[in-house]
């Protein structure tokens, strides 16, 4: 009986640790940006704030805009394997690239970008 209770407590502890996932959304860009580049950043941040307001406030879901032209950002770009403009969703050892969707949808179909972000982030939380 003690063994069963210990196993149950260990399982609950493991599940509670696993339940707390941190999801970081990165938008890597250069200093000079076009309207679409700016829209990717704006629409991504807006979508995250709308979809995950509680998670965003607690830091469980974060958004970081990273300028690749700034030397101070070289380490984070290398860590995330960003070699150019990129929209990345990263959690633990999972990395999902949404760059193509970002540029395709940010201006004309921001709801589609929002849906793509939701699908990926939900799977990582």
Given a cut of 80, whether residue 19 has pLDDT beyond it is no
28-81, pLDDT tens digit by residue? Answer: 999 999 999 999 999 999 999 999 999 999 999 999 999 999 999 999 999 999
What distances in angstroms separate CA 108 from CA 4, 38, 54, 55, 104, one per listed residue?
A: 56, 13, 28, 27, 8
**Regarding the domain delimited by 21-124, which CATH topology (the fold level of the hierarchy) does it fall under?**
Glutaredoxin (3.40.30)
State how far Cα 84 lies from the chain centre: 17
């Amino acid at each position: 009986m003690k063994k069963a209770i210990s196993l149950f407590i260990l399982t609950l502890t493991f599940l509670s640790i696993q339940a707390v996932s941190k999801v970081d959304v990165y938008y890597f860009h250069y200093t000079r940006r076009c309207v679409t580049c700016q829209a990717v950043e704006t629409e991504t941040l807006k979508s995250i704030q709308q979809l995950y307001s509680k998670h965003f406030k607690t830091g469980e879901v974060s958004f970081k805009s990273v300028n690749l032209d700034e030397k101070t950002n070289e380490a984070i770009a290398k860590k995330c394997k960003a070699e150019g403009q990129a929209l990345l969703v990263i959690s633990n050892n999972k990395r999902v690239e949404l760059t193509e969707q970002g540029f395709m949808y940010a201006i004309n179909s921001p709801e589609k970008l929002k849906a793509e972000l939701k699908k990926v982030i939900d799977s990582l939380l």
